[in-house]
């Protein structure tokens, strides 16, 4: 950055490395991990974009050094936006716990650490006002007297129907699906891009067609999923 000194007023000014505007030095914020400075307005805009795009590991806009959550909170000065960022961070931590299950009830998404529940798979969401029951194995709503496969087959026509309705009503015909690991909603624009997806929150790699976590060999397997396009 460039430092300018006003001889008459004694007030120093800096040139922002992001917007290249010369501003009083008290309008700048210094990132503790690297010492880079930028004006608060630019940093606020940068952080809003990063959080809106579900980025959890936010770095300095000029280098790869991480920004501390307390700095992020101070800069954005928006509790609702910071709560969203905190939610993404918590989901990233919980996503690596193999017994984490996410409540499938609409507008919930509460996490349950369901240790030793494989033999008794009925899970109850403990979020106040929810109390929904769901299955440890298939992670969908509880299906008494049915196997996971039978319940999945019974749900399939409803899922296809709701997908068709959404596609017809959507102005941009985008697809929105939850990440198979952390359940964060992900938008894939119908622009011809490949079906190999990576969640920005938890880092899960999955196939957009079957919505399962995958390896590099997935598209060579008999699954019927293709790297490009849709299932035949």
pLDDT at 227: 84
Catalytic residue among 194, 202, 210, 225: 194
Long-range contacts of residues 7-10, Cβ cutoff 8 Å, at least 24 apart? none
pLDDT at 186: 85
Enumerate residue ranges in the chain where pLDDT < 70: 1-11, 156-174, 231-232
Same domain, 192 and 156: no
CA–chain centroid gap for 41, Å, is 24
72, 92, 112 — which closes off a domain? 92
Give the DSSP H/E element, type plus range, for residue 47.
helix 40-52
Same domain, 87 and 125: no
Tokens standing for 139?
């992670």
27, 57, 92 — which closes off a domain? 92
The full DSSP string for 138-178 is: T-SB--TTS-HHHHHHHHHHHHHHHHHHHHHH-SS--EEEE
- Torsion (CA) 49, 50, 51, 53 in degrees, nearest 10: 80
Q: What is the CA radius of gyration of the chain?
A: 23
pLDDT at 72: 94
pLDDT at 174: 52
Same domain, 13 and 83: yes
Same domain, 196 and 147: no
pLDDT at 161: 41
pLDDT at 54: 79
Q: Provide the whole-model pTM.
A: 0.60
Give yes or no for a contact between 206 and 180, defined as CB atoms under 8 angstroms apart: yes
At 80-95, the pLDDT tens digits run 999 989 988 888 888 7
116, 146, 169 — which closes off a domain? 169
Domain residue limits at 192 = 173-232
Which SS3 state, helix, strand or coil, does residue 24 take?
strand
**Region of residue 109 (left: phi > 0; alpha: psi -120 to 50; beta: else):** left
Tell me, yes or no, if 225 is annotated catalytic. no
Domain count along the chain:
3
- Torsion (CA) 196, 198, 199, 203 in degrees, nearest 10: 140
Same domain, 148 and 217: no
């Amino acid at each position: 950055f460039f430092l300018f000194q006003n001889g008459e007023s004694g007030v120093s000014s800096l040139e922002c490395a992001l917007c290249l505007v010369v501003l009083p030095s008290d309008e700048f914020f210094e990132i503790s991990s690297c010492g880079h400075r930028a004006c608060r307005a630019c940093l606020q805009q940068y952080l809003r974009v990063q959080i809106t795009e579900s980025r959890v590991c936010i770095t300095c806009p000029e280098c790869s050094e991480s920004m501390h959550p307390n700095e992020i909170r101070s800069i954005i000065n928006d509790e609702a936006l910071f709560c969203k960022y905190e939610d993404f961070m918590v989901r990233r931590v919980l996503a690596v716990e193999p017994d984490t299950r996410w409540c499938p009830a609409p507008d919930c998404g509460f996490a349950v650490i369901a240790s030793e529940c494989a033999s008794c798979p009925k899970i109850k969401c403990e979020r106040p006002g929810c109390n929904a029951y769901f299955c440890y194995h298939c992670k969908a709503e509880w299906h008494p007297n049915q196997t996971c496969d039978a319940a999945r087959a019974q749900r399939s026509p409803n899922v296809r129907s709701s997908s068709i309705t959404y596609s017809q009503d959507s102005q941009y015909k985008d697809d929105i699906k939850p990440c198979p690991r952390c359940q964060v909603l992900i938008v894939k624009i119908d622009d011809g891009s490949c079906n190999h997806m990576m969640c920005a929150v938890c880092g899960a790699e999955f196939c957009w067609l079957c919505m399962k976590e995958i390896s590099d060999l997935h598209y060579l397997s008999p699954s019927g999923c293709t790297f490009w396009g849709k299932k035949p």
